[in-house]
Amino acid sequence: MDAGHSWRALLAAILLAATLPALAGTPVQEPAPPPGAGLGPALDVESLAALRGGDGQVRIEVDNVGTVEGNTANQVVTGDNRIDGGAFANAAGLTTVIQNSGSNVLIQNGAAVNVRFGSGP
């Protein structure tokens, strides 16, 4: 063996010896669980049918009754009324927007949400 060849063989052996422990300690990556895996078993069609929304009627009234009387607005300047693109960027749930650019205006707002959990009439 000539000196150049033995030098290359020695370098390859050193590099191999240096990388083997790292290769041996490489953990095997487990595949990701499928979506919803932690939610439990899926329900059969009959069980789902029993849990569907009913056809009963729910009546909820929001009674907003107000008046604006005897008010005056003289030399009033009103402004713009704008909602920018990021106005609801972090909104969650039921959002309501009420805007007014006038004077002597009665603004009333009401929201009724009926959420029923469990069985019952």
pLDDT, tens digit, 9 for 90 and up, residues 9-32: 777 777 777 666 666 666 667 888
Helix, strand, coil fractions of the chain, as percent rounded to 5: 25, 0, 75
Residues 6+ away with beta carbon under 8 Å from 108: 64, 66
**Which pLDDT belongs to residue 39?**
77
Which helix (H) or strand (E) segment holds residue 11: the answer is helix 3-24
Separation of alpha carbons 13 and 8, rounded Å: 9
Output 50 or 68, whichever has higher pLDDT: 68
What's residue 119's pLDDT? 65
